[in-house]
Amino acid sequence: MARAALPGGLIVEPAAIRPGPWQQAEVVAIWPETARAKTLRLALSVPLPRLAGQHFVVRLSAPDGYRASRSYSVASPPGEDGLIELTIERLEDGEVSSFLHDEVVVGDLLEVRGPIGGHFVWRGDCRAVLIGGGSGIVPLMSMLRMARQGAMAGSVTLVVSVREPAELYYRDELAGPEVQIAYTRAAPPGTTRPVGRLRPEDLAGIELAGATCFVCGPAAFCDHASALLLHTGASAQQIRVERFGPSG
Ligand SMILES: Cc1cc2nc3c(=O)[nH]c(=O)nc-3n(C[C@H](O)[C@H](O)[C@H](O)COP(=O)(O)OP(=O)(O)OC[C@H]3O[C@@H](n4cnc5c(N)ncnc54)[C@H](O)[C@@H]3O)c2cc1C
């Protein structure tokens, strides 16, 4: 498969990448992002190239044969084919997310399959407008990190909508001229934007010409952000949406 070099020497595959087989991945590190979200770094037994925005499926199996699988986006940028970082929000009554939070420790093996997704991917070949709500920032972080590594940060704008500072993922890494944070319930002192969900003026200054817009988060957030983009002048063809709902 032909490869393309991006500014900064970053290499990505230009064509869609097909998911590999089910494989074992060792949990090599775990750290908290917020009180309710953890990142798991996994070392794949079968390293595979991937694109920013893709996800993996994690499958849990019980001794009685019961299985549960859920999709998780990759937060780390493409380039390290043998390592992936998944950031998982713990849902109170969530079967898989609570197991991954409460039971999994460094050294455990997880069964995973991926990378998956050919539509919600950014190859670094156009401007990207990234709009994420809550854990919807995860695949967008892969895109932002790829842009920063490849000296393409000027080609990306990330807008994150989050309830309050304590719920912001990747907070030590996010700050930059290409990142805007919209707090919906409580903002840090000194923030001039009034709290509240995204409004047209939050997107007004963003260059949309020639951009692909990636919207990710809960379904209601995705619908709202997509409507705002259309209102701001984006065409439907420019918008790609990934909804984080229940998955099988
Ligand atoms: C392509 C894709 C990528 C995803 N990437 C991520 C990611 O990077 N990080 C992440 O934390 N999650 C991600 N998700 C969501 C994830 O797949 C699971 O849906 C989530 O972890 C809940 O699974 P669970 O087994 O804990 O909850 P379940 O036991 O399946 O559900 C428990 C309860 O929560 C509700 N519920 C299920 N999923 C969600 C959700 N996402 N939000 C709100 N309520 C829900 C259910 O309806 C049910 O009432 C992604 C989903 C998709 C489709």
Whole-number pLDDT of residue 246: 64
The tens-digit pLDDT sequence of the chain (248 residues) is 334 333 443 444 444 567 788 999 999 999 999 999 999 999 999 999 999 999 999 999 999 999 999 999 999 999 988 999 999 999 999 999 999 999 999 999 999 999 999 999 999 999 999 999 999 999 999 999 999 998 787 799 999 999 999 999 999 999 999 999 999 999 999 999 999 999 999 999 999 999 999 999 999 999 999 999 999 999 999 999 999 976 53
Tell me if 120 CB under 6 Å of ligand 1. Answer: no
Tell me if 71 CB under 6 Å of ligand 1. Answer: yes
Q: How far apart are CA 248 and CA 246, in angstroms?
A: 7
Whole-number pLDDT of residue 151: 79
- Which ligand 1 atom sits nearest the alpha carbon of residue 117? 1
- Which ligand 1 atom sits nearest the alpha carbon of residue 138? 8
Q: How far apart are CA 87 and CA 90, in angstroms?
A: 10
Of all protein residues, the one whose alpha carbon is nearest to atom 13 of ligand 1 is 72
What is the 70 CA–ligand 1 centroid distance (Å)?
Answer: 7
What is the 90 CA–ligand 1 centroid distance (Å)?
Answer: 9
Tell me if 48 CB under 6 Å of ligand 1. Answer: no
Whole-number pLDDT of residue 2: 36
From 97, 103, 113, 216, mutation site for ligand 1 pocket: most ligand atoms within 8 A of C-beta: 97
Ramachandran region, residue 76 (left: φ > 0; alpha: ψ -120 to 50; beta: rest): beta
Whole-number pLDDT of residue 7: 40
Tell me if 93 CB under 6 Å of ligand 1. Answer: yes
Whole-number pLDDT of residue 125: 92
Whole-number pLDDT of residue 170: 98
Q: Which domains does the chain have, with CATH numbers?
A: 4-116 (2.40.30.10), 127-243 (3.40.50.80)
pTM for this entry: 0.92
- Which ligand 1 atom sits nearest the alpha carbon of residue 120? 1
